[in-house]
Amino acid sequence: MSDFSCFEFKDDKLIFIDQTKLPIEEIYIQTDDYERIAEAIEKLEIRGAPAIGVVAAYGLVLSVREFSHNREEKFFNAFERMRATRPTAVNLFWALDKMRIAFEENKHLDNIYELLLHSAREIHLDDIERCEMIAKNGLMIFEKTCYVLTHCNTGQLATGGEGTALNIIKEGHENGFVKLVYVDETRPLFQGSRLTAFELEKANIPFKIITDSTAAFLMKNKMVDVVITGADRIAVNGDTANKIGTYNLAVLSNFHKIPFYIAAPTSTIDLNCESGKNIKIEERKKSEILRIKDIQISKENYDVYSPAFDITPNELITGIITENRLHKPPYNFNDKDC
């Protein structure tokens, strides 16, 4: 276990690390206001598909903390607010639906707060367990000591547990399979160079930060053995939405005959989504491209197109690692897989 915590629910408050300040500052925020949690998700102070599902569940708990005759209205106001924060990561909607069911089954009871808190903690503990199983199942992709390339952040900062793709990398390093990690900086918000580097440093795993456009050069020179990324939504046919730039890596890996793996809990699989064509892609505001933090690097009047995610077609994915097993193509996920 690393010596920091992404978030925890304690004394009727959510305590979370502000990821926008990392790695320079480790600042923790405490709140008992679900609106503040929703804002944190939107601002990427809290991010990562599994993580936002867990913290949104805690947000719904806080919406009924104080007894009120209109607690049902308050709950569903909070429910819709959380649903509106980010559209692509299916884990968010998966967790919110679980909390909605728990509320509807128990809304007539006086101890609804305690019952919802129990449900949220179950979602949190479930994610911790899934992360551990993903890491164990991911070990089978290693056959030798490897140089690994990863994109964005998929560790403790992105989940309720130890992570997905990054947890596989940690497990691989502990077992002697990972020699070095190449960390894509991950434009435009640098989740790789800020967050993944922060976690790898904490775990004492050797790494080098690279610009996103360096990956092809590394692969051409046979400096990468395997690529592992996370996912924000996986369709039934295996098409995968993940941080913008993931598709680039999949194409490059395919061309250079390098294995390309996705790691995600089964809560990321959307059984109502047949293919990547059905996945809604979030578009971010242009200031994230034209500015780095508070420093303007281009003109404000310039137009920008900034999708937060891209879609990797299933035929480019060597395998999808979940808590259940390593799935190989052709992919056709169903209820038994989830």
Task: Catalogue the active-site residues.
Answer: 232
Name residue 172's amino acid.
Answer: G
Token pair, residue 325, equals: 């097993």
Three-state SS across the chain? CCCCCCEEEECCEEEEECHHHCCCCCCEEEECCHHHHHHHHHCCCCCCHHHHHHHHHHHHHHHCCCCCCCHHHHHHHHHHHHHCCCCCCHHHHHHHHHHHHHHHHHCCCCCHHHHHHHHHHHHHHHHHHHHHHHHHHHHHHCCCCEEEEECCCCCHHHCCCCCCHHHHHHHHHHCCCEEEEEEECCCCCCHHHHHHHHHHHHCCCCEEEECHHHHHHHHHCCCCCEEEECCCEECCCCCEEEECCHHHHHHHHHHHCCCEEEECCHHHECCCCCCHHHCCCCECCCHHHHEECCEECCCCCCCCCCECEEEECHHHCCEEECCCCEECCCCCCCCCCC
Q: How many CB atoms lie within 10 A of CB 35?
A: 15
Residue 2's contacts (CB-CB under 8 Å, 6 or more residues apart) are 156, 162, 199, 202, 203
Angle, helices 49-63/71-83, rounded to nearest 10 degrees: 160
The C-alpha atoms of residue 279 and residue 307 are separated, in whole angstroms, by 13
